[in-house]
């Protein structure tokens, strides 16, 4: 039997998933910060394969904002093949010392989940990132619940990074979708700091559906709210050029 105070404490911790800033408002932009609670399972979805790098950036940023190091990054061979390997100088450029990172490449999703469960149980780790591409069949309610319980017991920040897969029900505390956003240009139209469009798809015990545009600040190791003026092109042109292809319409007859 759990101590009542401990139980309340646990519930309170579960509720404080996204720690709000000073004004408590997340959508206002001011004082907002993305801080995922450690000792929980969170899901990050890069909904298309082209957003894999954004997903990796957000996952890495989430680990860095809460200082949850060292990081165990699990990837499938498919991720390594299609998405490219994690690049040391690029990780340094995001603000991670690669000495704090162990990369594990596994053969398939089953091995990925097994290794993730082992990692989530290890109290010496700060973060476990399990990156799977496509439909992760093994990741069902049971498997995610297991990861969640392991993370609660060990205090590890457990992130499941999914690239190009369908969203399925899971026990994750929060579920985010991430897409790259136009950065604020530097001098001479050079691309600036990484910017993302985030959407909170699901949040246990709280409202969801909010969207933000954030910018990764390596020097302060935090996500800053990004002004929407970053979009240089009009929205219409944006959609016409690179938007998702319209659903095929079956011709009549």
Partner 1 sequence: MPIERLRARRPHLFVARDEAPIAFAESVGGAIRLAALNARAVAAGLSVGLTLADARARVPEVEIFPHDPAADADWLERLAEGARRYSPAVALDPPQGLVLDSGGVDHLFGGERGLAEDIETRMARRGLIVRLAYGDTPEAARALARHAGAPAPDEMGAIRRLPVAALELDEDACAALIAAGLKSVGDVLARPMATIAARFGREAATALRRLTGEEDSPLTPRVVAAPIGVERRFAEPVARTEHMLGVLEDLTAEAARVLEERHEGGRRWDARLFRSDGEVQHLRVETGQPTRDPAVLLRLFRERIEALADPLDPGFGYDLMRLDVGLAEKLDAVQLRLEGGEAKSEAVAALIDRLGTRLGRERVRRIHPRDSHMPEQAELLLPATDPAPKAEWTRPEPGEPPLRPIHLFDPPQPIESLAAETPDGPPARFRWRRKMHDVARAEGPERIAGEWWRRADMAPPTRDYYRVEDVRGRRFWIFRHGLYTETERPRWYVHGLFA
Binding-site ranges for partner 1 (CB under 8 A)? 50-54, 56-58, 60, 70, 72, 83-94, 97-99, 101-107, 111, 115, 118-119, 122-125, 179-183, 185-186, 188-195, 197, 216, 218-219, 232-233, 237-238, 241-242
CB of 149 to partner 1, least distance (A): 18
Q: With respect to partner 1, which residue has the nearer C-beta, 41 or 56? A: 56
75 Cβ neighbours under 8 A, 6+ residues apart: 86, 103, 104, 105, 106, 112, 131
Q: With respect to partner 1, which residue has the nearer C-beta, 20 or 191? A: 191
Per the CB < 8 A criterion, the answer to whether 37 and 173 are in contact is yes
Calculated CA dihedral for residues 7, 11, 16, 17, nearest 10 degrees: 120
φ and ψ of 111, to 5 deg: -65, -35
CB of 111 to partner 1, least distance (A): 7
CB of 122 to partner 1, least distance (A): 5
Q: With respect to partner 1, which residue has the nearer C-beta, 17 or 152? A: 152
CB of 52 to partner 1, least distance (A): 7
C-beta neighbour count of 59 within 10 angstroms: 26
CB of 24 to partner 1, least distance (A): 29
Give CA–CA dist 101/77, Å, rounded.
18
Q: With respect to partner 1, which residue has the nearer C-beta, 69 or 145? A: 69
Closest CA to 75 of 16, 161, 5: 161
Q: With respect to partner 1, which residue has the nearer C-beta, 17 or 59? A: 59
Per the CB < 8 A criterion, the answer to whether 164 and 47 are in contact is yes
């Amino acid at each position: 039997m759990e101590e009542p105070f401990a139980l309340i404490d646990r519930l309170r911790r579960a509720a404080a998933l996204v720690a709000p800033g000073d004004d408590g408002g997340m959508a206002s932009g001011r004082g907002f910060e993305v801080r995922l609670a450690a000792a929980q399972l969170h899901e990050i979805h890069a909904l298309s394969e082209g957003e894999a790098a954004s997903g990796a950036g957000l996952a890495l940023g989430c680990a860095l904002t809460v200082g949850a190091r060292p990081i165990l990054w699990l990837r499938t061979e498919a991720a390594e093949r299609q998405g490219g390997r994690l690049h040391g100088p690029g990780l340094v450029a995001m603000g991670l010392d690669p000495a704090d990172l162990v990369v594990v490449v596994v053969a398939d999703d089953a091995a990925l989940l097994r290794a993730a469960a082992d990692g989530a149980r290890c109290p010496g780790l700060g973060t476990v990132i399990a990156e799977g591409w496509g439909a992760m069949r093994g990741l069902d309610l049971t498997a995610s619940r297991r990861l969640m319980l392991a993370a609660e017991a060990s205090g590890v920040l457990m992130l499941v990074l999914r690239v190009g897969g369908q969203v399925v029900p899971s026990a994750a505390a929060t579920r985010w979708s991430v897409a790259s956003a136009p950065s604020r240009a530097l001098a001479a139209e050079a691309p600036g700091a990484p910017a993302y469009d985030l959407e909170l798809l699901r949040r246990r015990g709280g409202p969801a559906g909010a969207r933000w545009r954030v910018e990764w600040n390596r020097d302060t190791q935090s996500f800053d709210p990004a002004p929407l003026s970053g979009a240089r092109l009009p929205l219409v042109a944006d959609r016409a050029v690179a938007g998702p292809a319209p659903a095929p319409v079956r011709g009549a007859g």
